[in-house]
Amino acid sequence: MNAFTSPILVRNGAANVLPRIPLTASHSAFSEKWLQQQLFEHPLALPLREIAPNVSEPVPVCMELNTVAGPADILYVTGTGQIILVETKLWRNPEARREVIAQILDYAKELTTWTYEDLAREVARATGRGPKYLLDVARGRYPDLDEARFVDGINHNLRTGDIVLLVVGDGIRTGAEALVAFLERYGSLRFTFGLIEVAAYDVGDGDVLLQPRVLAKTEVMRRVVVVPVDRAGGELAIDLAAGDLMAAAQTEGGLDQTQLTDYQRWLQSFWAEYMRRLKLDDTRQPIPKTVPRSTNAYFPMPPSGAESWISAYVARSSGVVGVYLTWASTYADAASAFEYLQGDKEAIEIAIEDSVAWSYNGKVYSVGVKAPLGEWSSEGERVRALDYLLTMTNRFVNVFRPRLEAFTRGRN
């Protein structure tokens, strides 16, 4: 049986064991909304690293993020585009445990159909601070944030369902741990799931001490990601959650034409021409099945598109366009692959014929090139940006695909 130890408060030389306050009791000061607000304002109080060791410091983005499945209590993101959803619950009845877990799973499944623009739109609706707020709030915590890589990270994690899901509350019992064990039987779950119990203690003078701790979690090492590619090059997302097998192709179509900004229309036209003109020397390389719906176009690399990919991107606020190769932060061989490529650095840079940046930000490895983007609405800039991205996309595929295939064969 799990139980908190009682904290000892030493004040003026006197030690006192703090009495626990059950948040599940009918207490006018405590509610799920109250707990939600405390967690939103103090994300570092959550023992997130115990559940997802590779996740960096979370940034509070919004509360009540609207989805078709209902509003998610809290959304955090990290500087690499990791998405964290939190659902708060005061466990007043046993049924609530299953309901809240099913609820947050539904939110996660809904998010796998989104793009960065969808998330930014709903964040804007939840906060009333406009569509750039998602990027701005992340930059507030990470001033050196690279917009293209942040957007790429968000899109990749949405597409693969690589989301951290946390259920946080008081009065969680052993039955809830059994639910986590149940979830672990489904090895292809992409997300990381954790149950966190919060105990409240009366400090005196109306003050309360909150003590979160991990009750149970899914085992990250047991996650298996399957991202097969169809003949047209589109990724087929496999989501197996709570006994429900769902196979769906990438979302067809584009953005809601009635809600597009001038820049979104420009992007749509830009990527449509990019796809029309795209010619790759490597005919085996899968290409996007549909016209990209965001600022990035993705090309899966070995061993799979869930672990490594090339991204062509347009970053208007940074005033650049570019192409880069990167790896998922959860890919165990990312550092080895990066080192393997660096061993052939001179030949790679000669073949790419541009200034190549080899970088590691503490979480993600990448190899990229970029060029300045002037006034995006200028036809001359549009043509120049297209020519650059088309050329560099082809060179990156030619240079990196065979090398990564060789690296992957050597690891098997």
Give the residue, 218 or 101, on which the prediction is more confident: 101
Q: At what angle do helices 345-352 and 334-342 cross, to 10 degrees?
A: 80
pTM of the model: 0.61
pLDDT surpassing 50 at residue 233 = no
75 phi and psi angles, rounded to 5 deg: -120, 125
Mean pLDDT of 222-251: 31
DSSP state of 2: -
Under a CB-based contact definition with an 8 Å cutoff, are residues 195 and 188 in contact?
no
Mean pLDDT of 225-253: 30
Beta strand 83-90 pairing with 163-170: parallel
Mean pLDDT of 1-21: 72
- Spatial separation of the C-alpha atoms in residues 6 and 147, rounded to whole Å: 45
> How much of the chain is helix, strand and coil, in % rounded to 5?
35, 30, 35
| Top-level class of domain 260-411 | alpha beta
Q: How high is the pLDDT of residue 44?
A: 92
Q: Where are the domains of the chain?
A: 15-220, 260-411
Kindly report the length of the chain. 412
Mean pLDDT of 25-45: 79
Outline where DSSP puts E strands in 120-191: 163-170
Q: What is the pLDDT of residues 125-160, one digit of tens each?
A: 899 998 899 999 999 999 999 999 999 999 999 988
Mean pLDDT of 373-399: 92
Token pair listed for 48:
């997130």
Outline where DSSP puts E strands in 282-339: 296-300, 308-315, 320-327
- Spatial separation of the C-alpha atoms in residues 379 and 370, rounded to whole Å: 19
For residue 136, the SS3 value is helix
Q: How high is the pLDDT of residue 131?
A: 86
- Spatial separation of the C-alpha atoms in residues 73 and 88, rounded to whole Å: 7
DSSP state of 181: H
Residue type, 412: N
Q: How confident is the model at residue 376 (pLDDT cuts 50, 70, 90)?
A: confident
